[in-house]
Amino acid sequence: MRRLILRAQIWVADHVAAMVWILLVLWAPPIVFTVLVDLKLANAAGSGYLSLRDPGLLLSIMQILLMAAALPMMRPHPGRARPLLLAALAVWFAHSAWTLQIRLRLIGRADLVSSETLVTFAALAAATGVVLAVRDRRQQLETPTAIATTAPPPAVQQPGTT
């Protein structure tokens, strides 16, 4: 079982860049479109807030920028991008909290068990698991290096002992 978890962690850490790319492809176009609507560059119903004042939109923009900024840091190992991924996750939590309080006020407590809220909770849990897997994988990669650098130097062969 432990070996299976380790393999799952390795798989997640190896594919975290692909996951970030997929989320950006899914999330960026609607946010760009909303910004265009907010700036009156595209015709659609606005959010009712002043231009670029919607907290939900601003949090989404921040999240996408953090994820996009994390991408170049993921090579050679995604562990380097972990602070930015953590920040993006924190912004996602904030965005979900903001959305949830609006929905609770509009729909009531029944929204806590709506499919949309449950999917959001599941997605947040999965994303947290991914960021933790990246952290654990980083620690595993750094552990052998630490041992190797603190290990005693190899004995020098004495001349004439062959």
Q: In this chain, which of 1, 3, 4, 26 binds another protein, going by CB under 8 A?
A: 26
Site membership for another protein, residue 4 (CB under 8 A): no
Q: In this chain, which of 29, 72, 83, 129 binds another protein, going by CB under 8 A?
A: 29
Tokens 């407590």 belong to residue: 109
Q: How many residues bind another protein (CB under 8 A)?
A: 11
Could you give the CA distance from residue 84 to residue 144 in angstroms, rounded to a whole number? Answer: 25
Could you give the CA distance from residue 62 to residue 81 in angstroms, rounded to a whole number? Answer: 16
Q: In this chain, which of 1, 4, 25, 113 binds another protein, going by CB under 8 A?
A: 25
Could you give the CA distance from residue 122 to residue 84 in angstroms, rounded to a whole number? Answer: 21
Site membership for another protein, residue 77 (CB under 8 A): no
**C-alpha closest to that of 20 among 74, 97, 57:** 74
Which CB sits closer to another protein, 29 or 55?
A: 29
| Omega cis (within 30) before 153 | no
Helix 115-150 to helix 2-14 angle (10° resolution) is: 100
Q: In this chain, which of 4, 41, 44, 147 binds another protein, going by CB under 8 A?
A: 44
CB of 159 to another protein, least distance (A): 42
**Binding residues for another protein (CB under 8 A):** 11, 14-15, 25-26, 29-30, 33-34, 37, 44
